[in-house]
Chain A
Amino acid sequence: MKRSKIILSLILSIVMAISLLAGCGGNETTTTTAAPADTTTTTAAPDDTDETTTGDEGGDGYAGDLTLMHFSTSEESEGNGGSDGFRTVIAQWEEANPDITLKQTVLANDEYKTQVATLASAGDLPDVFLLQGMNTKSWAEQGLIMDMTDVIKDSPHYADYNQAYFTPFTDGDKLYGLPVLTGGTCTVIVYDKAAWAEAGFEEFPKTWDEVKEANEYFTANGYKESIAFGNSGKWQMNSCFLSTLGDRFTGPEWFQSIIDKGGAAFTDEPFVEALDYTGMLFQSGVFNDDFNAINNEDAREYYISGETPAFIGGNWDVSYIGATLLETDPELYENTGFAVLPQPEGATGSENSQNIGLGYAVAINSKLAEDEAKLAAAIDLAYYVTGPEFASYVAENYALGGLTQVSNVDLSAFDQFTQDFYNYSYVDTNACEIYDSYVSPAVWDVLNTELQNLTNGDTDGATVAQLTQEAYEANY
């Protein structure tokens, strides 16, 4: 008896000690799973005998080392179209420039962010690297990154660039990077074309009044509402609705000014109108009555089960809906279409917009200005990895798009659903900003919380705008 008590107390104390240690170590376990740094160094011959073959590929005869840092690890590239495409075009560029030894440091994204920030504070950035949007202003101010305004304007692909993607990498009228990798939309209406055709709309309505008209038909014909939406996580209303609807009222200059602290305020009339309009829409009965009590994961099930003829969400929802419908309801899969938010009455900002963006851009170390030949090589690399080769590769293999718009992409290998979503994301619509990619999470947290009150009808747009503006002034 006594011995068993001793053993029991021993076990208990060991368990306690382990649980304490486990509590402390909790943070570390997540980072250890990240891929180890795999530093690849090409073994290109340093002799520069074959100038004629590399001549047109740029580099202007530069021979030597060029350092590149990014986070498209080989593990990451499996299944991730952007990473795979990026690695592929880098390999192509290396092959076309045998005189240049491209020294790559490839880290998993989490480590990459830490490492590049450390190098930046030490003033020791690599020649070419990927710049995160929110670092642009401070690094430009400290002179760490090269002003690429003219480089971008001189690009052979300039005419095909999607201009909206440059915003995060802009400071004033200067540009600091070529947006890279692939973008996905955060706001898309997924709708059942057959159901809406029955309601008298061959394509999704262009105005909210028409949506309300359709809603009368739907509610009279067995549906509870027209559009499913889930906002219990609070971020959805911002990322998947207001960010686009706000752009319709304010236009892109307003948000650019918010980012630049250029005088625009959340209390500006067009933004308040956007808030009031959002509140009005969610009170109008067009949406499911439990939108503030369920998440987007629940709301998209309303669409998948056929309970609701449309759903608003982001690209992550579209891939889930596509994969699920393909298994459970091929007919609805065939009938599924994509549409931008209808234009609100009285909105004068933008039209046909949806929020989509690229989080990183190829930036060049400002120190390269001293070495013209090396700089030319770096610029050529930047053009290449963000150019049509990359865009075609990810379009043809993954139905994704990047900075450069490529026409006549052969999407025939993909089914209609995937083709339609590609066209929605990159071809048929205008891009606008994803609010919460910028500014400060402290501002968005306040706005998101207040948006629940607003859409419940418990407050008005002016109050929400005022509180958001206060958080903006205190935190940004």
Chain B
Amino acid sequence: MLTRRPPLRILIGYLLIPLALYVFAVFIPLITAAFYSMFEWKGGPNKTFTGIANYIALIQDKIFWLSFSHNLYLILLCVIGQVGVAFVFVMMINTRFVKLKSIHRTFGFFPSTIAAVYVGFIWLMIYDSRRGILNWFLELIGREDLTQVWLNNTDLVMTLVSIPLIWQYIGYYMLILLSATSSIDKEIFESAELDGANAFQRSIHIVLPMIKNTVIVCLVLCVSGNMKAFDNIYVMTAGGPGNNSMVLAMYGYKVSFAQQNMGYGSAISVGIFVLGLLVIGGMQLVSNKLSKD
């Protein structure tokens, strides 16, 4: 315990350090991106001021909106797959029948410690049409008719690249939800059980309302995390075939660096920022409503 309160200026001085880092790492890039988005800038020293021309192009850019729809689809799948499945797992682990709970926790968390690029490569091998275990398994159970070149299926590719992400982060949300459920008084369960509530009823009517705020945090984390999805998809399909698995962050990267169109790339980044705010803001509106009830 500190014996006396440090002078105010020292306190402020220390508090300024994280603020300065934040300004440097987040605020300044955002402002410069907004500034560059007003220019036609194809790399190199020459920039031409074009006003809002980039934003007009952005609104009409089919690939940008296609990528956004892919992000939304990804969010939907991941909310169900990551947070939803994590909740089911937590309920299962919390039952009396599961032994070695800490081992389940540790191994469940394990995939989220792996870099997304590796996860992408691992699942690339699983989906491989000739040497992958998915087609091998289908052949094994006699469903050769279902085998295909998975990542070249334009209808399925977005779902297929989402599965590794779901797999990777289930453990992460499981851990958060586990810590929330562990603080629930055991007596409540016992009395519920005496009253004849089954496991399903207990999780819906007791656990869920009691950890609601944690669930909302998980949902916000999940939505914001998936707005910036990039690495594993880049490794697996690079947005292909065509633009069928293109997501916003990758499109911004592609335009800025692969096409060397920095001005329009900056406009895309600002667009992603605005859409991100809208999606997460909308999320929070809904969750505020929910937590009031």
Q: Is A352 an interface residue (CB 8 A)?
A: no
Total A-B Cβ pairs within 8 A: 68
Q: Is B258 an interface residue (CB 8 A)?
A: yes
Q: Is A292 an interface residue (CB 8 A)?
A: yes
The segment out of B3-11, B145-153, B176-184, B224-232 that lies at the interface is: B145-153
Kindly provide the distance from the CB of B14 to the nearest chain A CB, expressed in whole angstroms: 11
CB distance B152 to A290 under 8 Å?
A: yes
CB distance B154 to A449 under 8 Å?
A: no
The segment out of A317-325, A425-433, A437-445 that lies at the interface is: A437-445
Chain A contacts of B239 at CB under 8 A? 449
The segment out of B136-144, B199-207, B240-248, B268-276 that lies at the interface is: B240-248
Q: Is A50 an interface residue (CB 8 A)?
A: no
Other-chain contact of A290, B1, B149, B242, B243 (Cβ < 8 Å)? B149
Chain A: CB-nearest residue to B130: A290
Chain B: CB-nearest residue to A442: B259
Q: How far is B1's CA from A200's CA once the two chains are assembled, in angstroms?
A: 89
Chain A: CB-nearest residue to B45: A121
Q: Is A267 an interface residue (CB 8 A)?
A: no
Q: How far is B130's CA from A450's CA once the two chains are assembled, in angstroms?
A: 25
CB distance B149 to A234 under 8 Å?
A: no
Other-chain contact of B260, A2, A290, A441, A450 (Cβ < 8 Å)? A441
Chain B: CB-nearest residue to A233: B238
Other-chain contact of A234, B1, B127, B152, B238 (Cβ < 8 Å)? B238
Chain A: CB-nearest residue to B1: A2
Contact size range, B: 20 to 34
Q: Is B105 an interface residue (CB 8 A)?
A: no
CB distance B242 to A452 under 8 Å?
A: yes
CB distance A458 to B154 under 8 Å?
A: yes
Kindly provide the distance from the CB of B155 to the nearest chain A CB, expressed in whole angstroms: 11
Chain B contacts of A450 at CB under 8 A? 242
Write out, one digit per residue, whether chain B residues 256-271 have a CB within 8 A of any chain A CB (1) or not (0): 0011110000000000
Given contacts A20-B21, A234-B238, contact A445 B149 (CB under 8 A): no
Q: Is B254 an interface residue (CB 8 A)?
A: yes
Q: Is B212 an interface residue (CB 8 A)?
A: no
Q: Is A475 an interface residue (CB 8 A)?
A: yes
Contact surface of A with B, Cβ cutoff 8 Å = 2, 20, 232-234, 289-290, 292-294, 307, 440-442, 445-446, 449-450, 452-453, 456, 458-459, 475
The 10 closest A-B pairs by CB, nearest first: A453-B242, A442-B259, A290-B149, A293-B151, A452-B241, A290-B129, A293-B152, A445-B259, A292-B152, A452-B242
Contact surface of B with A, Cβ cutoff 8 Å = 1, 21, 25, 42, 127-130, 149-152, 154, 237-243, 254, 258-261
